Chain A
């Protein structure tokens, strides 16, 4: 679906640009310059303002990402529960460092702050799907399920 179509669906919603950006990110992984310009047009704001919104929120990015975004929570409860070991394990499994994307563009690895799944720490998410309370040894099978399916859990 074209970005302009997505924007059109939300442009009657006052302040709906964030919802539009969510959907664009869900479909395309990031907010391109074209998407930001379309959003500005659709919501009657300047490109400068739309860009300011796009770059404020952690869940939006103006740079392309891999197909699956892995985020490791580093807030205090997960930190003391062993997020560092989780980060090490993920970096090793994926062969990339925090902030990087695998050469095949499949996975991007990032840090995040608390995602509200503190019932079982440490927590990481893949495409927003939480994986709370796993140990580093459990990472392999989880990642593999994404390789196997080749699809995102949300159907993109």
Chain B
């Protein structure tokens, strides 16, 4: 039986989230006090050296992002916690917030010290409204205990828009507008919330900070995969014996996650495919299961770690049907601002449905692939760029699923499949 490495979730089951004294007894806020004794520049260097990379999906070096914000001109800066967690199959951030909110608050306060921010926001997805109480209570307690020291945190809610997990769309939503992404540059660390330097970090990223400050950059950098050190909380769904969440070092392979922690497929059916990273992640066949789950190994294999969701499909599943449902998700969640995503997502759904109903030709398959590819290179934001990936990877690794639905006819203009 595989064993978890709980760093972010180290207090799970040991504390009452409504009692700050529990968190403090487990060492809570010690790292914050240590961080405050460091200069912001030293603190940023420490985080850079740890090579902590964003755990929301983008994987950017956290310390580097902070350095941009710290260097940007302006008196007002903001720390924003991205708790929008909309990626289907992902609920790790909820687990963190439900069980150890003080750890998140501590992480935010550490960031605030690094970039000299006085105001923080937790952008909480609307579907997690029930978490407001535990979060605001924890903030109140931290404030009363003096830990926040002039840095204040407000909880603000989203209202049901997956796109608000994208950092600039999130910022637009905080500003009371439609959650439509901005073109970049400029990037939030230089011009973010109200055009001021802003750090937007994922819940899990922030929840890593106390341990890093406490135990040091080299400790963290030595855990897991060197290019993406530390642990990652994976959430396992689909056809799996042990669905749930598991915090493991980042060099754990997908096979270990599925079979070691997940216990394999119910009924001992064969594994058909695994989707890594969330609903915008790649579908991979069994022969890629030994890929380590760290960011760069996966990128090399054309995959992305994403949010850490692992979604398993057994041999009985119709991948085409699942892919169609996923592309329909993106059609529903597209913000509508840019042409390729707004117009492309429903077109992908239409082509896939046509193919699934046996009315498709090789031309349609080719068109779906061309359209998907174009979306990945011309969309305004990451949603449009990532949306076709499930379909494209499924086409790449499971071509028969698609070609068996398609008649042999080609149109005059159709290119060979």
Q: Which residues of A contact B (CB under 8 A)?
A: 14-19, 21-22, 43, 45, 49, 52-53, 56-60, 74-77, 79-81, 112-121, 125, 128-129
Among A53, A80, A113, A120, which residue has its beta carbon within 8 angstroms of that of B313? A80
Q: How many residues of B contact A (CB 8 A)?
A: 49
- Cβ contact within 8 Å between B244 and A76: no
Rounded to whole angstroms, the CA-CA distance of A74 and B127 in the bound complex is 15
- Cβ contact within 8 Å between A113 and B178: no
Closest A residue, CB atoms, query B93? A116
Rounded to whole angstroms, the CA-CA distance of A56 and B235 in the bound complex is 29
Rounded to whole angstroms, the CA-CA distance of A77 and B331 in the bound complex is 17
Rounded to whole angstroms, the CA-CA distance of A57 and B129 in the bound complex is 15
Residues of chain B from 75 to 128 with CB closer than 8 A to chain A in the complex = 85-91, 94, 125-128
Q: Given contacts A75-B279, A76-B311, A77-B311, is CB(A57)–CB(B90) below 8 Å?
A: no
Closest A residue, CB atoms, query B89? A77
Q: Is B228 an interface residue (CB 8 A)?
A: no
Chain B residues, CB < 8 A from A75: 88-89, 279, 325, 329
Q: Given contacts A21-B159, A77-B238, A80-B239, is CB(A116)–CB(B94) below 8 Å?
A: yes
- Cβ contact within 8 Å between A60 and B159: yes
Q: List 25 A-B contacts (CB under 8 A).
A: A14-B176, A18-B156, A18-B157, A18-B159, A18-B176, A22-B126, A45-B176, A56-B178, A57-B159, A57-B160, A57-B179, A59-B127, A75-B88, A75-B279, A76-B89, A76-B325, A77-B89, A80-B322, A113-B88, A113-B332, A113-B333, A114-B86, A116-B94, A128-B129, A129-B130
Q: Is B304 an interface residue (CB 8 A)?
A: no
Chain A residues, CB < 8 A from B156: 15, 18-19
Among A15, A76, A79, A120, which residue has its beta carbon within 8 angstroms of that of B243? A120
Q: Given contacts A53-B176, A58-B161, A119-B91, is CB(A80)–CB(B238) below 8 Å?
A: yes
- Cβ contact within 8 Å between A77 and B88: yes
Q: Is B194 an interface residue (CB 8 A)?
A: yes
- Cβ contact within 8 Å between B176 and A118: no
Residues of chain B from 313 to 327 with CB closer than 8 A to chain A in the complex = 313, 317, 322, 325-326
The 10 closest A-B pairs by CB, nearest first: A58-B160, A15-B176, A57-B159, A75-B88, A59-B160, A114-B88, A77-B237, A56-B178, A59-B159, A17-B176
Q: Is B220 an interface residue (CB 8 A)?
A: no
Q: Residue-by-residue, is B157-195 near A (CB-CB < 8 Å gives 1, otherwise 0)?
A: 111111000000000011111110000000000000010
Chain B residues, CB < 8 A from A113: 86, 88, 162, 329, 332-333
Closest B residue, CB atoms, query A58? B160
- Cβ contact within 8 Å between B90 and A116: yes
Q: Is B295 an interface residue (CB 8 A)?
A: no
Chain A residues, CB < 8 A from B261: none
Q: Is B66 an interface residue (CB 8 A)?
A: no
Q: Given contacts A57-B179, A118-B237, is CB(A128)–CB(B279) below 8 Å?
A: no
- Cβ contact within 8 Å between B91 and A56: no
- Cβ contact within 8 Å between A116 and B85: yes
Closest-CB distance, B268 to chain A (whole angstroms): 18
Rounded to whole angstroms, the CA-CA distance of A58 and B332 in the bound complex is 10
Chain B residues, CB < 8 A from A59: 126-127, 159-160
- Cβ contact within 8 Å between B161 and A76: no
Q: Is B29 an interface residue (CB 8 A)?
A: no
Residues of chain B from 247 to 280 with CB closer than 8 A to chain A in the complex = 275, 279
- Cβ contact within 8 Å between A22 and B157: yes
Among B90, B162, B173, B325, which residue has its beta carbon within 8 angstroms of that of A18? B173
Residues of chain B from 222 to 250 with CB closer than 8 A to chain A in the complex = 235, 237-239, 243-245
